[in-house]
Amino acid sequence: MNYKKIINKLELDNFRITPSRQDKVYQQIKESAQGDFDFFLLTIFSTIIITLGLVINSSSVVIGGMLIAPVVWPIFLLSLATVMGRVRFLEKSIITVFKSTLIILLTALLIGLFVPDVLGGGSEVLSRTRPTIFELLIALASGFIGAFIVSYPKLGGAMAGVVVAAALVPPLAVTGLAISRNDWQAAGGSFLLYLSNLVAITFASGILFVLARFRGPASDEAREVRKMNLRWFVILFLIVIIPLYFTTKNTLTQQRQRQVITDVFTAELGSAVQLTDVRTENKGGVLQINVTVRSEKGISKWDVTKMTEALSRSLERSVVLKITVIPVIEAGKILPTFDNYQSVE
């Protein structure tokens, strides 16, 4: 029994589409990816909506802007032109993606210059400054299923979900906002997220187009172009994975540290103390922990010493702990004196 033929029949040949359908898909993608006035007008206004949604920390507004953003189409054209070895359309798609990137960045940057600094620091922004492998996996799934939906017209209604899951404009808008505030660390993280999504969607949609048996010119030159293009995208994909691995590792470490800190505070101080902010930073092999809490009573230096020792044991490293206390009182009660323990370390 030839298992290889069975696997190919069950898992690969089902993706194959007819040459006539391939032509329709190619024409649809090429038409939707044209960098014309309509395309860039939609790009600008979707960026405005998404950026303002980030500023006011509204996920529904961000999603609404993502639904009208057309930037996924030139990425599909980039992927398809790579697979088919069509150099002219490959160059056009790269130019359109580059122009779209600049427009989104500049639009978000201009909005950021006019937005007060007190805005734009919510979860919608922060979640896009710490990219991980998980976002890459989401982009891979989005790119593959997006190309699948485009190739099969009966599934066109699901395209809106792909556009939202692809999440190309929001991280780039965060980059623009971060640059307007000279926050280069956040700008770097969000731009890395954008690049990883871009490469992952191109890579995954290319896999679908290969499985669908899209074919370009049959010349030796065209075949060499296809091979070279595919090699470059594999290399870019592997390059993107490296920084994402380290950011994922760092994020998971910080989450574990925050959980340990929360558990120690709950065990030592009880439910009367509520943690509102936890920040950690490594300095010279020592973990510096800055915690902000709400409390009805003060926290003494003895409490801090006990928690420092407990945290050092749990985290298995040297720890420096600083606690900032925000007093909480019931209406009608006399405000206690917090002067001696507003900031304890």
pTM over 0.95, yes/no: no
What domains can you pick out in the chain, each with its CATH number? 3-216 (no CATH), 255-344 (3.30.70.1350)
The more confident residue out of 154 and 309 is 309
Half-sphere exposure of 266 (CA within 13 A, CB side): 7
- Please write the tens of the pLDDT for every residue from 160-191: 666 676 778 999 999 999 898 888 888 888 99
Q: Using CA atoms in the order 84, 96, 129, 61, what is the torsion angle rounded to 10 degrees?
A: -110
Q: How many helices (H) and strands (E) does the chain have?
A: 13, 4
- Output Rg (C-alpha) for the chain, integer angstroms: 26
> What pLDDT sits at residue 11?
54
Nearest to 50 by CA among 37, 41, 63: 63
Q: Is the pLDDT of residue 287 over 70?
A: yes
Q: Using CA atoms in the order 108, 110, 113, 117, what is the torsion angle rounded to 10 degrees?
A: -20
Query: Beta strand pairing status for 286-295 and 273-283?
Result: antiparallel
- Please write the tens of the pLDDT for every residue from 301-319: 787 888 888 888 888 888 8
Other Cβ atoms within 10 Å of 337 Cβ, number: 9
Q: Is the pLDDT of residue 229 over 80?
A: no
- Please write the tens of the pLDDT for every residue from 23-82: 888 888 888 888 889 999 999 999 999 999 988 888 889 888 888 888 889 999 998 888
pLDDT band at 121 (very low <50, low <70, confident <90, very high): low
**What is the SS3 assignment for 300?**
coil
Whether the CA torsion 222, 228, 232, 234 is positive or negative: it is positive
CB 143 within 8 Å of CB 202: yes
